[in-house]
């Protein structure tokens, strides 16, 4: 006989796990087991806009203004737009 779980105060099981998560497009499957239960789910971590890299720690916001002229790749590396150079692509090549 199955008992109803409509009441959110009913705890079916408790399971704890610790994992290092890395951002990416790939889904990771997880199976948690204890002596009475099995919990299966898939997850992925996606960085907020303008944050890049496996830990979402590289901030790169594309610019084309007085503060720089660049685009960003998937790892958060700046790439100067045509005609610009320098760390923040703020130096015109013709200068």
Rg for the chain (alpha carbons), in Å? 23
Domains in the chain with CATH codes: 52-92 (2.10.25.140)
pLDDT digits (tens), the chain, 95 positions: 455 567 777 777 788 888 888 898 899 999 999 888 888 999 999 999 999 998 999 999 999 999 999 999 989 999 999 999 999 999 999 86
Can you give the pTM of this predicted structure? 0.65
How many angstroms separate the CA atoms of 27 and 79, rounded?
A: 29
- 59-68 long-range Cβ contacts below 8 angstroms, 24+ apart: 63/89, 66/90
What sign for the dihedral angle of Cα 63, 67, 70, 71?
Answer: negative
């Amino acid at each position: 006989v199955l008992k109803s779980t409509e009441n959110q105060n009913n705890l079916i099981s408790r399971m704890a796990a610790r994992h290092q998560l890395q951002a990416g497009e790939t889904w990771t499957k997880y199976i948690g087991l204890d002596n009475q239960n099995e919990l299966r789910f898939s997850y992925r971590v996606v960085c907020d806009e303008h944050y890049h890299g496996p830990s979402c720690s590289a901030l790169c916001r594309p610019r084309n203004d007085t503060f720089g002229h660049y685009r960003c790749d998937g790892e958060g590396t700046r790439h100067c737009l045509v005609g610009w150079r320098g760390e923040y692509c703020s130096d015109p090549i013709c200068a």
